[in-house]
Amino acid sequence: MNLIPIGDPQDPRVAAYLDIRERDLVGRHGRFVAEGKVVLDLLLSAGRFAAESALILENRLAGLEGVLRKTPADFPVYVASGEVMDRIAGFHMHRGILAIGVRGAPRPAEVLLETLPANALVVVLVGISNHDNMGSIFRNAAAFGADAVLLDSTCCDPFYRKAIRVSVGAALKVPFGSFGDTSSLTATLDRLGFSQFALSPRGETDIRAAERTSRLALYLGTEGEGLPEALLNRLRTIRIGMAEGFDSLNVAAASAIALHHFSKR
Amino acid sequence: MNLIPIGDPQDPRVAAYLDIRERDLVGRHGRFVAEGKVVLDLLLSAGRFAAESALILENRLAGLEGVLRKTPADFPVYVASGEVMDRIAGFHMHRGILAIGVRGAPRPAEVLLETLPANALVVVLVGISNHDNMGSIFRNAAAFGADAVLLDSTCCDPFYRKAIRVSVGAALKVPFGSFGDTSSLTATLDRLGFSQFALSPRGETDIRAAERTSRLALYLGTEGEGLPEALLNRLRTIRIGMAEGFDSLNVAAASAIALHHFSKR
């Protein structure tokens, strides 16, 4: 292993880790931050994204040997004391495990769709702007074997540090692609043989009665306004039945129920 | 309406609202804070807990008339400018709607159970220590008509401000009670005719095959360690089937799937 001790928080080799929270806001020029052992392991195992380096708290190193062995011999593992690490990150990093990954070129949804198998479950997100919800939806997508997540341009970034953390790394595992125009995506999915269901509190069919088809796309919208009316008019709509007097469900919870339902073969 | 303008952040009449975040940590002596229009409406409509007062940003008052009309004529509605409100709360309160409620005496789980109808769905929580998860589980319990939530002594407080906010008020709606010893609770539930299911990644039965009985108790444990082994040995265990290579589900997401499943009559 290529262990590199870091004593100076301003060392240019760890510049990518400086002031993490401030950098979250301005973006990372094609990079992302992975935090914690589980996420680092997933980044290195899944192999979908290149890892550039890791920054590890010195007393966490021993527990990470198995994970770090998955990297090439020259992969830089920067090692710092708690004090130096906190000064690099700009706040107290109690996890003590960070890595920088490379995003690669963004994939258009249409290109990603062409790569999917005959049996495929796809999640289509419209206007999901909360990083907690985004991360949770990816986690559920991974847990129930979704093949891809497609995001419209009003969705937030799944590579945002908090989204990756909440997803427990699923944002680095489940392939995702972006689309601009919803009508043209709907047409593409139709052409590719996908049944298309939109989840809505006012959906016409109870989800228990909606059957899995070999290729299925599930649309989820924002919690407040839901999916756009024009889209709901074009798709089959399904609802999750709730108790009278409290018909309020978080969009990530709704995704868990719907993906679990449609994951049944 | 009893509108009381507040100009001085140190006014003793709004002492209950001072330094909200610091007070979260030390507790509120039998009080809780409700935030936002939806939660305030639920507090006043559900009537389970007495409301003591409200503190409203002056420009939010007009939109709240319908909600505040549910209070007695002498109910104090303190009204403040944005600047005064932020200085009272100790941070920027962009919602601008706060209320203080009274917790009342804590209810033992055994007492609460005696009040339940012949058809009842009960959630039993063991070691849920994260306020986000706690709030989300209550929200799902309300959405799927659970009759009660029972908490062991290692669970966090559902009246914590963030838990109430994340629950969208469900923590003020779904009755809950506390228990000390899990074995004695299990015996009580058994005596009262409850089928008892423990959710576990290693559960013996797929949840799709678990049928709703008229009285049913669903046990949920912490995300990391899960339910204690001794408890799993005593109960019927069910699992939520997941994809190979990513068997990781947030406990609140698991509660959504399980409660939706068992809410079917």
Residue-wise pLDDT for B199-221, tens only, equals 999 999 999 999 999 999 999 99
Confidence class for position B1, pLDDT limits 50, 70, 90: confident
Instruction: Spell out which residues of chain A touch residue B254, defining contact as CB-CB under 8 Å.
Output: 256
| DSSP of A62-103 | GGGHHHHTTS-TT-EEEEE-HHHHHHHHTS--SS-EEEEEE-
The strands making up B97-102's β-sheet, listed across from edge to edge, are: B2-5, B76-80, B51-57, B97-102, B31-35
- Tens digit of pLDDT for each residue in A52-63? 999 999 999 999
CA–CA distance, A57 with A61 (Å, rounded to integer): 7
> Hey, is the C-beta of A99 within 8 angstroms of any chain B C-beta?
no
Confidence class for position B25, pLDDT limits 50, 70, 90: confident
From the CA of A206, how many Å to the nearest CA of chain B? 11
From the CA of B244, how many Å to the nearest CA of chain A? 8
* Contact between chains at A142 and B168 (C-beta distance less than 8 A): no
CA–CA distance, B263 with B110 (Å, rounded to integer): 23
pLDDT at B265: 61
Q: Where are the domains of chain A?
A: 2-102, 109-262
pLDDT at B169: 95
From the CA of B262, how many Å to the nearest CA of chain A? 12
Is residue A75 within 8 Å of residue A53, measured between CB atoms? yes
Touching A: B residues 24-83, CB under 8 Å: none
| Phi and psi torsions of B219, nearest 5° | -95, 135
> Hey, is the C-beta of B265 within 8 angstroms of any chain A C-beta?
no
Give the sign of the dihedral formed by CA A160, CA A163, CA B22, CA A83: negative
Q: How many Cα neighbours within 13 Å face the side chain of B234?
A: 15
pLDDT at B106: 87
How are beta strands B120-125 and B148-152 bridged, if at all? parallel
* Contact between chains at A249 and B208 (C-beta distance less than 8 A): no
> Hey, is the C-beta of A170 within 8 angstroms of any chain B C-beta?
yes
- Tens digit of pLDDT for each residue in A69-120? 999 999 999 999 999 999 999 999 888 999 999 998 889 999 999 999 999 9
Touching B: A residues 111-140, CB under 8 Å: 136, 139-140
- Tens digit of pLDDT for each residue in B33-50? 999 999 999 999 988 899
How much is the average pLDDT of B231-241?
Answer: 95
Checking if the pLDDT of B129 tops 90, the result is yes
Instruction: Spell out which residues of chain B touch residue A144, defining contact as CB-CB under 8 Å.
Output: 242-243
pLDDT at B130: 95
Q: What is the mean pLDDT of chain B?
A: 94
> Hey, is the C-beta of A218 within 8 angstroms of any chain B C-beta?
no
CATH class, domain A2-102, is alpha beta
The H or E element containing residue A214 is none
Instruction: Spell out which residues of chain A touch residue B39, defining contact as CB-CB under 8 Å.
Output: none
Contacts of A6 (CB under 8 A, 6+ apart): A13, A14, A55, A78, A79, A80, A84, A88
CB neighbour class for B203 (10 Å; exposed up to 12, middle 13-18, buried from 19):
buried
> Hey, is the C-beta of B201 within 8 angstroms of any chain A C-beta?
no
CATH class, domain A109-262, is alpha beta
The strands making up A31-35's β-sheet, listed across from edge to edge, are: A2-5, A76-80, A51-57, A97-102, A31-35
Q: Measured between CB atoms, which of B248, B257, B264 is closest to A256?
A: B257
How much is the average pLDDT of B155-161?
Answer: 95
Instruction: Spell out which residues of chain A touch residue B244, defining contact as CB-CB under 8 Å.
Output: 145
How much is the average pLDDT of B170-186?
Answer: 96
* Contact between chains at B144 and A243 (C-beta distance less than 8 A): yes
In Å, how far are A97, A215, A227, B193 from A190, measured between CA atoms? 43, 10, 18, 50
The residue of B123, B246, B265 whose CB has the most chain A CBs within 10 angstroms, and thus the best one to mutate to test that interface, is B246
Closest CA to A248 of B131, B135, B147, B139: B139
How much is the average pLDDT of B146-172?
Answer: 96
CA–CA distance, A239 with A206 (Å, rounded to integer): 5
Checking if the pLDDT of A265 tops 70, the result is no
From the CA of A172, how many Å to the nearest CA of chain B? 12
Closest CA to A215 of A119, A114, A115: A119
Closest CA to A166 of A131, A128, A124: A131
- Tens digit of pLDDT for each residue in A165-219? 999 999 999 999 999 999 999 999 999 999 999 999 999 999 999 999 999 999 9
Checking if the pLDDT of B131 tops 90, the result is yes
Checking if the pLDDT of B246 tops 90, the result is no
Instruction: Spell out which residues of chain B touch residue A140, defining contact as CB-CB under 8 Å.
Output: 249, 253
pLDDT at A108: 97
pLDDT at A3: 95
| DSSP of B107-142 | -BHHHHHHT--SSEEEEEESS---HHHHHHHHHHHH
Confidence class for position A162, pLDDT limits 50, 70, 90: very high
B41: β partners: none
Closest CA to A155 of A239, A20, A251, A35: A251
> Hey, is the C-beta of B250 within 8 angstroms of any chain A C-beta?
yes
Q: Which two tokens stand for residue A238?
A: 């399904």
Contacts of A52 (CB under 8 A, 6+ apart): A16, A31, A76, A99, A100, A101, A102
How much is the average pLDDT of B13-17?
Answer: 95
pLDDT at B89: 93
* Contact between chains at A246 and B208 (C-beta distance less than 8 A): no
DSSP state of B95: S
Confidence class for position B146, pLDDT limits 50, 70, 90: very high
CB atoms near residue A49 (< 10 Å): 18
Instruction: Spell out which residues of chain A touch residue B144, defining contact as CB-CB under 8 Å.
Output: 242-243
Checking if the pLDDT of A248 tops 90, the result is no
From the CA of A243, how many Å to the nearest CA of chain B? 5
Instruction: Spell out which residues of chain A touch residue B139, defining contact as CB-CB under 8 Å.
Output: 248-250, 253
* Contact between chains at B145 and A173 (C-beta distance less than 8 A): no
Confidence class for position A246, pLDDT limits 50, 70, 90: confident
Closest CA to B164 of B51, B3, B9, B75: B51
DSSP state of B27: -
